Structure 1
Amino acid sequence: MTVVNQPEFGQRLRQLRLERGIKQTELAGGPVSASYISRLEMGNRLPSPAALSYLADKLGVPSEALTTCAPSKGAEAGPGGVGAGGADDPHSARSLLLAEAATALRDGDTARVIELLEPQLDRAEAAAPFGWHWHLLWTLAEAYGRRQELPARVRVLRTMLDTSAIWPDAAAVRAGILADLSADERALGHLPAALEAGEQAVAAARGAGAPEQARALMAVAAAETELGAVRLADKRVPELLALADATTPRTAAQIYWTCAGVRSRQGRAEESDRLMLKALAILDSRDDLLAWARLRMAASALRLRSGRTDDVRGWIKEARRAVDLVGGPGQSAALLSLTAWLLWIERDYRAAIAAADQAEETGLLAFHDGLRNRLLRSRCLLRIGSEAEARTQMRSVAMQAEDSGYLDLATEAWKSLASALDGAQTEGDRRIGAPRGGNLTGETDMTPLEGALLDATRLDETQWAGTPLDGPRPSAREGVVRGVNGSGGSGRRPEGPAARD
């Protein structure tokens, strides 16, 4: 039986390919694609027996030439000596380190992975072989991702991006890194950076395979949707759907999920639901249990967004079982937030507040999800009579969302605040006959912005009871936006393509 070790196999494959002056695209064929060869050379994959046989034949060498590295100087030093791979052999020490980190990652001990590899980053750049350094970066990024430590993961991904610049024929790999980077920046609330990385991913994926193109398009469409540039995201949908049949079930399910999100933001709830159900049907839990769970969480969010609760409780229950087996604390936090959303629609406000608080306390919600979770909590507070705390939290969410470029969510939060202020003012009028926006002496406790919001729209607070956070907007939306922009709100549009939407 042939034993294949990475990153040694990838280093040897690249060496033999370059010696023959062959590009990855020229070597591709049969059971391997150019992007697959890139991943092999970078140490991210192990070759299948069919791929190993094909590559050996194409390169004109026996399979053993790919699975056996050339001996280093001093190889005859004898057992335990430097050349024999003893403890003083840098190559041997590096291989042992990566092997231990890979075992820890497989066992779920991500803290151990970080402990082993993080100190190696600086010295690896200066002295280590390229393949070993790349494999270290990939393993470290995976560990940070599983722990939901996104700032650290973004740092490692950007290092991978810089490192890949010296690697020939690495466009497909760069597209994948950029797509991951876009998703992480979006989760952190860095929308301009997410959009930039997504657009770069699309450019890098041109000429690559369908999976790479799909990942890039999904990344940029998600960033555009979050920025409110839904018309731009809509243009990606036909291209994405055309790629679905040429990808794996997991990628196809992600495509339908992404397109469902765009359609939901357009208010096309039926089409969104149809696409999401197609995503659920195409992926089997045995293929990827965590992706299967995340699809159920996404389907629940889209149903709740349209004001429907059918199937949602069952999907959340199924997702929770899967997350308990293979997920992490980040997925558990997202499930708590979804549960709070469901309880809000069911008008169990105190239970919704408790679930939202648990989700918030983890500190692991994505930036947008965290804002939405706090907005939901503030609406529940309003329903149980905690008006002052509710208004304070609504104001905070609205300002954070606007400053970060989430204009749809900012509008939603400003409307909730205007509704709360209007409800409080109406109650005050009934009790003491106070002037609009003030007390008996005519003095107001509202900020100028809040006063403008109240002048822009007189929303009945009951319009919001039990409605989804991102559901159909009341007709006063444009008035609220004009009130925000005309009274001290930033009124900023995001730079770049989103500004033209």
Structure 2
Amino acid sequence: MLEQPVFGRRLRQLRTERGLTLAALAGEGMSTGYLSRLESGARQPTERAVAHLATQLGISPAELTQSTAASLAQSLTLATGLDQDEAGQTLSEALKASEGEDPLLRWQALWQVAEWRRQRQEYPEQRACLDELTELSTQIGLPELRARVLAELSRCMRNTGEIAGAVDAATHAYELAKSEALPARVQTATLLALVSALTEAGRLPDAARHTDELLTVTDKGSGPQWAQALWTVASIRVRQGDLDAAAELMDQALSGFDGRDDLTMWMRLRISAARLDLRTDPPKTESAQRRVEEVQGAMPFAGTPTVEQQLLAVRARIAVTTGRLDEARAVLDQLVGFDDLLPYQERIRLDVLRNRVLLLEGEQATALDGLRKLAEQAQQSGNMDLAAEIWRLVAESLAK
């Protein structure tokens, strides 16, 4: 016989799988109030109750009282030997039947599932995990857990275009990390979230004020977090118009980061460097193309859908910059259907690129109308940096 609350969870799982209400499962031989208390774990089941419920469910009493789900602790252990997709699925299923278990175990499982959802670009599902993680972190009472969750929540909200919320979450994470004197790795994570959110919100002076602090916290590093810090500060320098300083920071990250630590990060750095190459005057298209070829060579080993889409977008930009419009159009066509999976900023920038192609093809009225709508959409979402970027393109196009 399963002890409570495990029996209650097992019973509720079987009932919901069959789409039964409490009244339907209780039938004439049991009150819904008693059944509800069984499911909540407030009452221990009798043999008579088990027999009645098994009949109602169409299974044997042994099937009802034997748990088929591994505990959350077992699932976390099993997940260490699985690839990311298998681990994510295993933990996701375990979480559905693990209400009432140790909050720390649930936190660990949810954190891994949230990262799995992010990698799969399932942002609403990731957000649901992060919302529960926020509540669990408060319940557990460890400031480090709460700061880490808030920083990741900010990142998730930026991906869905919720810029004001992203700034709030990152600000709370940063203030918590500072007030509690949390470890450098946590302070770095919160700073990365804050600088990125402030930049997207168009608050460049506020973002720039944190860049020196970010570089100081990550000084003498060499891992993924260090490389991401340099990359983030480089993006600020680009927006400040200091492309030389941005290039220097990117070169430092590219040369100092060993791809064996994180091959996906190694590829994303080169994609970002290729974008920077295309922003110089004149654009360094040959350098950008070399970086694209480096990433393409690594794709079989650590390529993800996100990296593949970012790579295609850079290839389209190179084609536009070099005037190969047919090639640009073909590459952009490959990205059709991925838009719902891409982060908000990437989706908008792809649409901007499509309108740039229309401009170059002579469809000025259609392209300008599309760009205006994209700029207004970015403004309404609070993404002021992206909106300003699009309005500049509109102004330049009208001037020409």
TM-score interval (norm. to shorter): 0.7 to 0.9
SS in structure 2 of the partner of residue 287 of structure 1: coil
Residue 390 of structure 2 aligns with which residue?
413
Q: 1:117 to 1:284 in 2, by over 3 A?
A: closer
Q: 1:89 to 1:371 in 2, by over 3 A?
A: closer
Match of residue 247, structure 2, among 273, 276, 284 = 273
In 1, Cα distance between the equivalents of 2:237 and 2:136?
37
Q: CA RMSD in A?
A: 2.4
Residue 197 of structure 2 aligns with which residue?
223
SS in structure 1 of the partner of residue 274 of structure 2: helix
In 1, Cα distance between the equivalents of 2:95 and 2:137?
15
Higher helix share: 2
In 2, Cα distance between the equivalents of 1:276 and 1:288?
17
In 1, Cα distance between the equivalents of 2:72 and 2:241?
54
In 1, Cα distance between the equivalents of 2:332 and 2:153?
28
Please tell me whether residue 320 in structure 1 is matched to residue 296 in structure 2.
Answer: yes
Whether contact under 8 Å (2:151, 2:190) holds in the other structure is yes
Q: After superposition, where does 1:332-347 map in structure 2 within 5 Å?
A: 332-347=308-323
Please tell me whether residue 380 in structure 1 is matched to residue 354 in structure 2.
Answer: no
In 1, Cα distance between the equivalents of 2:93 and 2:218?
41
In 1, Cα distance between the equivalents of 2:130 and 2:358?
40
In 1, Cα distance between the equivalents of 2:70 and 2:383?
50
In 1, Cα distance between the equivalents of 2:200 and 2:336?
21
Q: 1:222 to 1:300 in 2, by over 3 A?
A: same
Please tell me whether residue 150 in structure 1 is matched to residue 123 in structure 2.
Answer: yes
In 2, Cα distance between the equivalents of 1:365 and 1:275?
26
Residue 57 of structure 2 aligns with which residue?
none
What is the Cα deviation at residue 292 of structure 1? 0.9
Residue 129 of structure 1 aligns with which residue?
102
Q: After superposition, where does 1:57-136 map in structure 2 within 5 Å?
A: 88=66, 93-103=71-81, 106-108=82-84, 110=85, 112-113=86-87, 115-121=89-95, 123-125=97-99, 127-136=100-109
In 2, Cα distance between the equivalents of 1:317 and 1:328?
16
In 2, Cα distance between the equivalents of 1:271 and 1:115?
43
Q: After superposition, where does 1:41-440 map in structure 2 within 5 Å?
A: 88=66, 93-103=71-81, 106-108=82-84, 110=85, 112-113=86-87, 115-121=89-95, 123-125=97-99, 127-168=100-141, 170-206=142-178, 207-245=181-219, 247-307=221-281, 308-309=283-284, 310-363=286-339, 364-417=341-394, 422=398
What is the Cα deviation at residue 160 of structure 1? 1.0
Q: 1:162 to 1:338 in 2, by over 3 A?
A: same
Whether contact under 8 Å (1:144, 1:153) holds in the other structure is yes
In 1, Cα distance between the equivalents of 2:393 and 2:227?
34
SS in structure 2 of the partner of residue 323 of structure 1: helix
SS in structure 1 of the partner of residue 210 of structure 2: helix
SS in structure 1 of the partner of residue 202 of structure 2: coil
Whether contact under 8 Å (1:333, 1:359) holds in the other structure is yes
In 2, Cα distance between the equivalents of 1:248 and 1:130?
34
Q: 1:208 to 1:246 in 2, by over 3 A?
A: farther
What is the Cα deviation at residue 344 of structure 1? 1.3
Q: 1:231 to 1:288 in 2, by over 3 A?
A: same
In 1, Cα distance between the equivalents of 2:378 and 2:101?
44
In 2, Cα distance between the equivalents of 1:226 and 1:192?
9
* Alignment deviations for residues 371-405 of structure 1 (CA, whole Å, 9 cap, x no partner): 11111211111211333432342232122112122
TM-score, normalising length from structure 1? 0.61
Q: 1:179 to 1:361 in 2, by over 3 A?
A: same
In 2, Cα distance between the equivalents of 1:141 and 1:222?
20
Whether contact under 8 Å (2:196, 2:207) holds in the other structure is yes
Whether contact under 8 Å (2:71, 2:98) holds in the other structure is no
State the one-letter code of the partner of 2:137: S
Q: 1:414 to 1:255 in 2, by over 3 A?
A: closer
State the one-letter code of the partner of 1:338: V
What is the Cα deviation at residue 356 of structure 1? 2.4
TM-score, normalising length from structure 2? 0.76
What is the Cα deviation at residue 231 of structure 1? 0.5
- Provide the identity percentage: 31
In 2, Cα distance between the equivalents of 1:115 and 1:244?
34
In 2, Cα distance between the equivalents of 1:217 and 1:116?
32
Gaps of 5+ in 2: 1-64
State the one-letter code of the partner of 1:352: A
* Alignment deviations for residues 270-323 of structure 1 (CA, whole Å, 9 cap, x no partner): 111111111111111112111111111111122223343242111122123323
State the one-letter code of the partner of 1:131: L
Whether contact under 8 Å (1:343, 1:349) holds in the other structure is yes
* Alignment deviations for residues 238-263 of structure 1 (CA, whole Å, 9 cap, x no partner): 11111122545222111111110111
In 1, Cα distance between the equivalents of 2:98 and 2:273?
43
Residue 452 of structure 1 aligns with which residue?
none
In 2, Cα distance between the equivalents of 1:216 and 1:412?
26
Whether contact under 8 Å (1:350, 1:380) holds in the other structure is no
* Alignment deviations for residues 334-361 of structure 1 (CA, whole Å, 9 cap, x no partner): 1111111111111112222222232343
